[in-house]
Structure 1
Amino acid sequence: MPDDVIDDLQRIAPKLGIPDYRALICHYVGKGLREDVERFEHTPIDDLIESLKRHGVSETVIYEAVNDMAQVG
């Protein structure tokens, strides 16, 4: 890792309440990883299911509809 990046991490970590810059590196890596996992594992059907739940559609009806789609596809 470039020295200037290490210097920035060491300077910013205490301002974020993180005593060790290596812990800040772990934080940044974890945050980026969670975003990528969400991006690659989250599907449009997940968004639809969550929207239907928010609109009061029962989980039973959603489950049956998803199963119907799986049998057709």
Structure 2
Amino acid sequence: MKTETLKKRLDKNRPMIAVTIRIPEDVVDDLKRLAPLLGFSGYQPLIRAYIGQGLRVDIERLEGNTVSALIASLKRHGVSDELIHKALSEATHE
């Protein structure tokens, strides 16, 4: 994840939107029980944390797949491993 995107995601004053979702009562009860044990002020922040965690994993997985596909394509077009490595180093050390 890019540094600027990460900084925005860590901002506690980000705009929020209300979302209605149906969750089984027993799951909400479990969330309410676990939230304080995990250091959350309530079950809703815990739900946001779970969603954010899953979202980050999927974004990384999908973006990683895109990067892998790009690397494979560059190799098929004759770009050397050395040049690909140099470009990746430059891109990840913004």
Give me the TM-score of the superposition, normalised by structure 2.
Answer: 0.48
CA distance in 1, matches of 2:28, 2:45: 12
Query: Where in structure 1 are there 5+ consecutive unaligned residues?
Result: 46-56, 64-73
- After the TM superposition, list the runs of 4 or more consecutive aligned residues in structure 1 that deviate by more than 6 angstroms: none
Matching of residue 35 in structure 1 with residue 57 in structure 2: yes
CA distance in 1, matches of 2:30, 2:55: 21
CA distance in 2, matches of 1:62, 1:31: 30
Query: Where in structure 2 are there 5+ consecutive unaligned residues?
Result: 1-22, 72-81, 88-94
The Cα shift of 1:27 comes to: 0.2
Aligned residues: 50
The Cα shift of 1:62 comes to: 1.1
Structure with the greater alpha carbon radius of gyration = 1
Structure 2 residue identity aligned to 1:41? E
Structure 1 residue identity aligned to 2:61? R
Task: Name the residue aligned to 1:8.
Answer: 30
Task: Give the aligned CA root-mean-square deviation in angstroms.
Answer: 1.9
| Percent identity for Structure 1 against Structure 2 | 48
Task: Name the residue aligned to 2:86.
Answer: 62
Higher helix content, 1 or 2: 1
